[in-house]
Chains A and B, each alone.
Chain A
Amino acid sequence: MPDYGIDAAVDITSVVCPVTFVKTKVAIEELDDGQILLVRMNDGEPIQNVPRSLKDEGHEILKLIDNKDGTYNLIVRKRESGG
């Protein structure tokens, strides 16, 4: 897998909707614009909703990686708020 230069990681596998997105949002807010966050999430509902919610907030999804253990890593770049 290519190296995305991950700046921070958050694990949301122990929480359920809507806390999944809240936790993700808090984690991404702590980053600087353009930095990269890794979000580890469960299959199912989080996969359906978290990438889309991040997209709707203007962040850039780079990759979804299957960890082959029922979890996925989503790589996302924080939106540049200047524009």
Chain B
Amino acid sequence: MKKVMGLTAALGVVMFIMAGCNSGSEKEEAKTETATTTEATAPEQAAPALNDAQIASIAVTANQIDVDYGKIALEKSQNPEIRKFAETMIKDHSDIINQATALATKLNVTPEDNSTTQDLLKGQKDMNEKFAGLTGDAFDKAYAQNEAAYHDAVVNAVKTVLIPNTQNAELKSLIESVVPLLDHHLQMAKDLAAKFQ
């Protein structure tokens, strides 16, 4: 009996040490990186400020719209590059929505409808109508061009409106961390659109 206890204790020590060294190596290089400056805040602050609930609504809607565009592309396009790009948009923007809704739930923030959200939805409706009338290369070209224009507009809005207005530090940090991803999407979309000139 004593022997069993001795071995159990020894095993416990071993596991403790192993757990210790795992977490050590994972934390080691996790530097905090703060993104982007907020120099362009002055003009926007004159406009009616958005609260965090409205910002959450805008963030989720903006991402959902690009997921929806991606789904239309998968329905309509046979072009492998367009399809791969659309799949990446669906996956990435769905991941962001998941993170944003999880954080909003944790922070007890209920996304609140507002005029910016409505403008985004209106833009989506117009674009969907345009897409509906296009097939083949014409659709692929319109989709790629819209992805470039849409990401350009969203990156701009995130930097100049959403980030400067966000009050909660965790929400601000999440939105800031989306910027490099949007920049990457924008570059990919521009490269894709250039192939359809």
A and B bound?
Answer: no
Residues of B at the A interface (CB closer than 8 Å) are none
